[in-house]
Structure 1
């Protein structure tokens, strides 16, 4: 139970600070830190990350969420989460954990590289969306992230935030808030796809979720005052460390 509390605080803090990353740590934390089997860790992670993201987005609801983009990506992602879950049932756990580690490495490296936000590129001077350019990119990004949500039990924030900045041109501040809304939608879709075969330790999952929600709310308020570069680099290093550990444990199993 102590492990669930500690990891819940870490996962919630990451979600609140950078709009992602909590889910990429939640699965290995539940598997190796708490001792859950992967089959239970995936839906538990979705429950924890979805509820924590809903709390973390509260301080950002008014000014830091691109609602059209969040709803488009969330809807397309929730649909493909079911396909990811179907593939999850067909693959060996070791393969899934190695894929998970690879994605963590790629995400960590990408977050260490500089980014140049280009907000407004898909909008007219008066603020209206250029749907011909905007919609295809939003749908494609949401579809990929949703599939990974079902496959690996992640909310997708570690992919959503870079995609929002690099592909869709949002600033980091709006990417964080928008990412949290998309994670909530994706987590609901992913959890629904597991609903018929849930076998969770509700005591451990509940403790993990409550601590994550409390930490995400506090970190969300704190994160608005910290430099983006500090948060991104610190998170990237942490992700790379965890990726190495997950890969080692998977290969040694």
Structure 2
């Protein structure tokens, strides 16, 4: 199987996960790039940021038309993560490959376990609560750092943060998270300018295109299959990937 076919298949899977679950699919991009397409961890996280940016901006257009994006609050939340995202993005290129892989594996494992747990009522379509500026700034900065360091969009972290910290309703949280993800990813990419030269664009370009198209199909899939079933299947697969990556990093 050629690298092009692998890139298209992997990109489609990532897009389906993003479209079907509203976040988390980008966590599959890094291990796919490392183990299927033989990217280094630094190159994989940089390429993942490109993929995340493209898919987030595409989905942001749709959610904007649906009125699900709170631009003012989302921009303020994203602004808190700009500097941490840029600093973490620059630091990622200087970390040992094994450390970067292990850190990503731990994050993926945490995400998988979180997704397997029942969702509390606080994450449902409930009444919005007043925003708390201090915790919002701290949370935004932390999420920006995670995005910059590990090359993940962090929708699985941003959405709960917007609900629990800023008091967003779920639909607004999902739509606004795309703005936060896109801004943080772009900031991290700016700090990783030196890494672009080592990317295999013949692989990254089709991977990104397939992810964008797959995200549209993921939305249709979500309408036909139970969201709980999709989430649990994704979480089990992600947990297996996390264990494999952690073992590979420490061996």
Question: 1:11: Cα distance to partner?
Answer: 1.0
8 Å contact 1:22–1:49 — kept in the other structure? no
> Structure 1 pair 86/195, CA: closer, same or farther in 2 (3 Å)?
closer
Question: 1:246: Cα distance to partner?
Answer: 1.3
3-state SS, counterpart of residue 229 of structure 2: helix
**Other-structure match for 1:67:** 71
Question: 1:78: Cα distance to partner?
Answer: 2.3
CA distance in 2, matches of 1:187, 1:224: 28
The 5 A counterparts of 1:117-128 are: 117=122, 118-122=126-130
Equivalent pairs, count = 242
Deviation string, structure 1 residues 97-150 (Cα, Å, up to 9, x no partner): 11111111112222222222254111xxxxxxxxxx432232222111111111
Return 113-122 or 38-47, whichever deviates more: 113-122
**TM-score after normalising by structure 1:** 0.86
**Other-structure match for 1:130:** none
**Other-structure match for 2:155:** 157
Q: Which runs of 5+ in 2 are unaligned?
A: none
**Other-structure match for 1:8:** 11
**Other-structure match for 1:128:** none
Q: Does 1:116 align with 2:121?
A: yes
**TM-score after normalising by structure 2:** 0.87
8 Å contact 1:111–1:232 — kept in the other structure? yes
Query: C-alpha root-mean-square deviation of aligned residues, in Å?
Result: 2.1
**Other-structure match for 1:125:** none
Deviation string, structure 1 residues 79-111 (Cα, Å, up to 9, x no partner): 211221233233211111111111111122222
CA distance in 2, matches of 1:135, 1:32: 41
Q: Which runs of 5+ in 1 are unaligned?
A: 123-132
> Structure 1 pair 112/119, CA: closer, same or farther in 2 (3 Å)?
farther
The 5 A counterparts of 1:46-61 are: 46-61=49-64
Q: Does 1:99 align with 2:99?
A: no
**Other-structure match for 2:219:** 220
Q: Does 1:18 align with 2:56?
A: no
Return 166-175 or 205-214, whichever deviates more: 166-175
**Other-structure match for 2:181:** 183
**4+ long deviations beyond 4 Å:** 224-228
CA distance in 2, matches of 1:69, 1:233: 31
CA distance in 1, matches of 2:141, 2:202: 33
> Structure 1 pair 219/85, CA: closer, same or farther in 2 (3 Å)?
same
CA distance in 1, matches of 2:233, 2:165: 23
> Structure 1 pair 11/242, CA: closer, same or farther in 2 (3 Å)?
same
Question: 1:197: Cα distance to partner?
Answer: 3.6
8 Å contact 2:147–2:185 — kept in the other structure? yes
